[in-house]
Structure 1
Amino acid sequence: MSKPKLIIIDTFSLANRAFFALPPLGTSDGQPTNAVYGMAMMLLRLLDETKPDYMLAALDTGLPTFRHREYPEYKGQRLKMEDSLRTQIPIIKELLGILEIPALEEPGFEADDLIGTYAKGAAKQGLEVELVTGDRDAFQLVEPGIKVKYTRKGITEVDLVDCEYIQNRYQLAPEQLIDLKGLMGDSSDNIPGVPGFGEKTALKYLHQFGSLDGIYESVTKIERNRDRELLIKYRDQAYLSKKLATIITDLKPAINIEECCRKNTYDRQKVLDFCIKYEFKSLAKKLADAGNQPEVELNSLPQLDFSIGVIKEADLEQVTHQLESAGVCVVQFLTAGANWTGSKLLGLGLSDLNQNWFYPLSNSKTLPESLIRVLNDGAIAKIGHDLKKQMQIAKVNGVEIRGNLDDTLIAGYLVNAGLGSLELEELAKNYLHKTIPVWTSERGKSRSVLELPAELSEAVLTKITGGRLQAIRELRGTFQDNMATLGLANLYQDVEAPLINILFTMEETGVKVDPEVLRTFGNELRSRQHQLETEIYDLTGSEFNINSPKQLGVILFEKLGLKAPKKTKTGYSTDAQVLEVLIDEHPVVALILEYRQNIKLQTTYIDSLIALINPKTGRVHTTFNQAVTTTGRLSSTEPNLQNIPVRSEEGRMIRKAFVPKDSEHLLLAADYSQIELRVMAHFSGDGAFREAFLKGEDIHRFTAAAVNGVEPEQVTGEMRDQAKAVNFGIIYGISGFGLAKNIGVTRKQAESFIEAYFNQYPGVEKYVNELIEQARGSGEVHTMLGRIRKLPDLYSRNFTLRSFAERMARNTPIQGTAADIIKLAMVKIGRILADRPELGQLLLQVHDELVFEVREANWRELANIVKKEMEQAVTLNVPLVVDFKIGSNWGEMSSCKLEELNA
Structure 2
Amino acid sequence: MSATSAGAQRPPARGSARSVAGSTSAVAQPAPGDGEPRLLLLDGHSLAYRAFFALPVENFATTTGQPTNAVYGFTSMLINVLRDERPTHVAVAWDLPTPTFRHTQYAEYKAGRAETPEDFVGQISLIQQVCDSLAVLGVSAPGYEADDVIATLASQGAAVGMQVLIVTGDRDALQLVTDEVTVLMTRRGISDMTRFTPAEVEAKYGLTPVQYPDFAALRGDPSDNLPSVPGVGEKTATKWIQQFGSLAELVDRVDELGGKTGTSLRAHLASVIRNRALTELARNVPLDVTPVDLRLRPWDREAVHQLFDTLQFRTLRERLYTALATVEPEADEGFEVSTRILGPGEVSQWLTDHARGGQRVGLHVRGTWGRGTGVVTALALATPGGPGAWIDPAGLTGDDDKALAQWLADPGQPKAAHDVKGPMLALAARGLSLEGVTSDTALAAYLALPGQRTFDLADLVLRYLRRDLRTQGSDTGQLTIDGSDEADAAGADVVRARACLELADALDADLDRRGATALLHDVELPLVGVLAVMERAGIAADTDHLLELQKHYGAEVAAVSAQAHEIVGRPFNLSSPKQLQAILFDELGLPKTKKIKTGYTTDADALAWLATQADHPLLAVLLRHRDVARLRTVVDSLIPMIDDAGRIHTTFNQMIAATGRLSSTDPNLQNIPIRTAQGRQIRRAFVVGTG
Q: Normalising to structure 2: TM-score of the pair?
A: 0.55
Task: Indicate the residue corresponding to 1:417 in structure 2.
Answer: 450
Shift of 1:382: 2.7
Question: 1:340·1:393 contact (CA, 8 Å) conserved in 2?
Answer: no
Instruction: Name the residue aligned to 1:646.
Output: 674
1:215-250 alpha-carbon deviations (Å, 9 max, x no partner): 367549977578659x9xxxxxxxxxxxxxxxxxxx
Query: What are the residue-to-residue correspondences of 1:249-398 with 2, within 5 Å?
Result: 297=325, 299=328, 301-302=330-331, 303-313=333-343, 315-321=346-352, 322-335=354-367, 344-361=375-392, 368-398=401-431
| Distance in 1 (alpha carbons) for counterparts of 2:428 and 2:82 | 59
Trace 1:200-239 onto structure 2 (pairs within 5 A).
200-201=213-214, 203-204=216-217, 210=234, 214-215=239-240, 219=244, 224=249
Shift of 1:183: 6.1
Which residue of structure 1 aligns with residue 643 of structure 2? Answer: 614
The CA deviation at 1:401 is: 0.9
Post-superposition offset of 1:423: 1.2
Contact persistence 1:330–1:350 (CA under 8 A) = yes
Higher mean Cα deviation, 393-402 or 484-493? Answer: 484-493
- CA offset at residue 556 of structure 1? 3.0
Amino acid at match of 2:631: L
- Checking the alignment, whether the CA contact within 8 Å between 1:180 and 1:202 is kept in structure 2 is no
8 A contact 1:23–1:430 mirrored in 2: no
The higher relative CO (CA closer than 8 Å, separation ≥ 6) is in 2
What secondary structure is seen at the aligned counterpart in 2 of 1:324? coil
How many residue pairs get aligned? The number is 449
Pair 379,587 (structure 1): closer, same or farther in 2 beyond 3 Å: same
Q: Once the two structures are superposed, what CA deviation does each residue of 1:423-482 show, in whole Å capped at 9, x if it has no partner?
A: 1122122222222159xxxxxxx9xxxxxxxxx921231232122112211211111111
Give me the whole-angstrom Cα distance separating, in 2, the residues matched to 1:374 and 1:312.
15
- Residues 1:625 and 1:159: Cα distance change in structure 2 (over 3 Å): farther
Q: Any idea what SS the aligned residue of 1:35 has? A: coil
**Does the 8 Å contact 2:417/2:440 carry over to 1?**
yes
Structure 1 residues 452-463: aligned runs within 5 Å: 457-463=485-491
**How far does residue 573 in structure 1 lie from its aligned partner after superposition?**
4.1
Do the aligned residues in 1 keep the contact of 2:541 with 2:647 (CA within 8 Å)? yes
Bigger mean CA deviation after superposition, 363-372 or 530-539: 363-372
Native 8 Å contact 2:415 2:436 kept in 1:
yes
Q: Which amino acid aligns with 2:670?
A: Q
CA, structure 1 residues 294+217, in 2 after alignment: closer, same or farther (shift >3 Å)? closer
**In structure 2, C-alpha distance between the alignment counterparts of 1:464 and 1:151, rounded to whole Å:** 47
**Offset of residue 600 of structure 1:** 1.4
1:50 to partner: Cα distance: 6.0
Aligned in 2, Cα 1:417/1:493: closer, same or farther, shift over 3 Å?
same
Distance 1:655 1:135 in 2: 48
Q: CA–CA distance in 2 between the matches of 1:549 and 1:498?
A: 47
Q: Equivalent pairs: percent with the same residue?
A: 27
Question: Displacement of 1:615 after TM fit?
Answer: 1.9
SS of the aligned residue for 2:431 comes to: coil
1:23-172 matched pairs, under 5 angstroms: 23=31, 34-35=34-35, 134=163, 161-163=185-187
Choose which of 577, 580, 587 in structure 2 pairs with 1:559: 587
Shift of 1:334: 0.9
Q: Deviations over 1:529-558 (max 9, x none)?
A: 222111101001011232333333333333
Residues in 2 aligned to 1:51 and 1:178: alpha-carbon distance in whole angstroms: 24
Q: Secondary structure at the match of 1:578?
A: helix
Aligned partner (choices 546, 559, 571) of residue 518 of structure 1: 546
* 1:302-351 CA-partner distances (Å, limit 9, x unpaired): 3522313123235423321121223533221112x675867553310112
Match of 1:847 in 2: none
- 1:542 alignment counterpart: 570
Q: Secondary structure at the match of 1:163?
A: strand
CA contact (8 A) 1:332 1:349 kept: yes
| 1:643-699 alpha-carbon deviations (Å, 9 max, x no partner) | 32232112221122222235xxxxxxxxxxxxxxxxxxxxxxxxxxxxxxxxxxxxx
Cα separation, 1, equivalents of 2:541 and 2:85: 68
Q: Distance in 1 between matches of 2:415 and 2:572?
A: 60
Q: Quick check: 2:641–2:667 contact (8 Å CA) kept in 1?
A: yes
1:391–1:400 Cα contact (<8 Å) kept:
yes
User: Do the aligned partners of residues 138 and 523 (structure 1) sit closer, same or farther apart at CA in structure 2, a change above 3 Å counting?
Assistant: closer
CA contact (8 A) 2:330 2:462 kept: yes
Give unmatched runs, 5+ long, in structure 2: 1-27, 40-75, 87-161, 172-177, 221-231, 257-297, 299-320, 472-476, 478-483
> Residues 575 and 199 of structure 1: is their aligned pair in 2 closer, same or farther, counting only changes over 3 Å?
farther
Offset of residue 501 of structure 1 = 1.7
1:590 corresponds to which residue? 620
SS of equivalent to 1:472: helix
Amino acid corresponding to residue 679 of structure 2 in structure 1:
G
Instruction: Return the letter of the residue paired with 2:362.
Output: V
On the 8 A contact 2:356/2:413 being kept in 1, the answer is yes
CA-to-aligned-CA distance 1:391-446 (integer Å, 9 cap, x gap): 111011221112354211111001113235211122122222222159xxxxxxx9
Residue 893 (structure 1) aligns with: none
- Aligned mate of 1:495, from 523, 527, 542: 523
TM-score (structure 1 length as normaliser): 0.43
Structure 1 residues 488 and 515, CA, compared in 2 at 3 Å: closer, same or farther? same
Distance in 1 (alpha carbons) for counterparts of 2:649 and 2:421: 14
Residue type of the alignment partner of 2:460 = L
C-alpha distance in structure 1 between counterparts of 2:572 and 2:37, whole Å = 60
Alpha-carbon distance in 2 for matches of 1:151, 1:508: 54
Greater share of residues in helix:
1
Relative to structure 1, the CA distance from residue 222 to residue 531 in structure 2 (aligned partners, 3 Å threshold; closer, same or farther) is closer
| Contact 1:408–1:476 (Cα < 8 Å) also in 2 | yes
Instruction: Spell out, residue by residue over 1:771-815, the C-alpha distance to the aligned partner (whole angstroms, 9 max, x if none).
Output: xxxxxxxxxxxxxxxxxxxxxxxxxxxxxxxxxxxxxxxxxxxxx
Contact kept? 2:375, 2:430, Cα under 8 Å: no
1:325 is paired with a residue whose SS is coil
- How does 1:419-818 map onto structure 2 within 5 Å? 419-437=452-470, 457-564=485-592, 573-583=601-611, 584-585=613-614, 586-604=616-634, 606-616=635-645, 618-661=646-689
Cα distance between partner residues in 2 of 1:437 and 1:311? 18
The DSSP-based 3-state class of the residue aligned with 2:555 is: helix
Instruction: Say which is worse superposed, 306-315 or 531-540, in terms of deviation.
Output: 306-315
For the residues of structure 2 that align with 1:640 and 1:529, how far apart are their CA atoms?
22
CA distance in 1 between partners of 2:82 and 2:197 (Å): 27
For 2:618, what is the secondary structure of its paired residue?
helix
